[in-house]
Amino acid sequence: MSEVPFDKVVLSCDENPIFLPFIPLVAKAWHKFFPEVVIELGFVCEVDPKNGLPLDSRVEQYMDTMAKTSKINITFLPLVEGVSPNNLGKVGRLIVAAEQGDAVCLIHDVDSLPLQREYMIKLVEQRIKDTMLCVHVPEVYGNDPFGRFPMAPTTAEGYVFKRIINPENLSYTELINSWKDLRVYDTNESINNKPDPFSGDNIYFSDESLLRVLMNRFREERLAMTTNVVRDVANIHYDWRNCTNIPDRGQWHTWNREALTTGGMIEANLLRPGWVYQEDLQPIIDYINED
């Protein structure tokens, strides 16, 4: 039996050229450190309702090549009227995870990747079966156990995601439409909001805010159906403030490059777009490409 406490890594995105080019590198990183794990990708595009494949044959060919070369499973998710593809690209991973049955699914980002194995195993192995792992950051999100938390690396069995994300077994379009015009805890829960958090009016879409709404529909049960942990685990400190062991787009030049090959770095939140920061990203790329 594998020591890895999750079976699948679930990612999602749309055709946004800022994120899409990262997928092969991110997939290679997950395969490098977790060869036992399957990668599932929810990809948002125009889909032919007759066969479920992209309407644009160029997109279909590109994704088919990516699936084979990057060894990932791809689920095509159609556009929905009135909803930005960027927003659908955020929630696609939740929807795909909810269809994975008994498999334990770890939600992550297409612009982040692991740089070692130990940290994620120790973090996720704290999860109790049949619950959702919620990795809280009290300094940023507060101490409310019913509040928001970072989407990555939220982890649970597929059927746990299903119960939270789609308890009424709605169709994809029905489910997305049910998330329109939500106003429960803040202004950012509605999936038909603007996708850009820097639009200036503070009304944009946050998948973290949406997930809080969906989980708190079970508010009386939420503590029993979640495993709440913080980012530090065992003897590993996740230095999110200074980013000394996390190459992070917010403070990229503070991490120790010598520690990269010795397992001292935890994960990378990649500078984007990649073509602008190629030189900065190259040490990470070289490390992932090492045999």
**Residue 211 · residue 185 · CB < 8 Å:** no
CA-to-CA distance for 228 and 149, rounded, in angstroms?
10
Which residues of the chain are modeled with pLDDT < 70?
A: 1-2, 199-200
CA dihedral 203, 198, 106, 162 (to 10 degrees): 20
| Start-to-end CA span in the chain (Å) | 25
CA dihedral 240, 247, 11, 165 (to 10 degrees): 10
User: Parallel, antiparallel, or unpaired: how do β-strands 226-230 and 104-107 relate?
Assistant: unpaired
CA-to-CA distance for 263 and 284, rounded, in angstroms?
12
Which domains does the chain carry?
Answer: 8-236 (3.90.550)
pLDDT tens figures, 246-255: 999 999 999 9
E strands present in the chain: 8-13, 38-45, 73-78, 104-107, 112-114, 132-136, 155-157, 226-230, 267-269
User: Which two tokens mark 32?
Assistant: 């490098």
pLDDT tens figures, 109-131: 999 999 999 999 999 999 999 99
Name the pTM for this structure. Answer: 0.96
Q: Which helix (H) or strand (E) holds 105?
A: strand 104-107
CA-to-CA distance for 285 and 269, rounded, in angstroms?
13
User: Which two tokens mark 186?
Assistant: 């803040």
Per DSSP, the three-state class of 252 is helix
The tokens 């009016």 sit on which residue?
201
pLDDT given for residue 2 in this prediction = 58
String of DSSP letters for 42-71:
EEEE-B-TTTSSBSSHHHHHHHHHHHHHHT
- Cβ neighbour number for residue 289 with a 10 Å cutoff: 11
The tokens 């059927």 sit on which residue?
159
pLDDT tens figures, 27-56: 999 999 999 999 999 999 999 999 999 999
**Residue 4 · residue 121 · CB < 8 Å:** yes
**Residue 176 · residue 161 · CB < 8 Å:** no
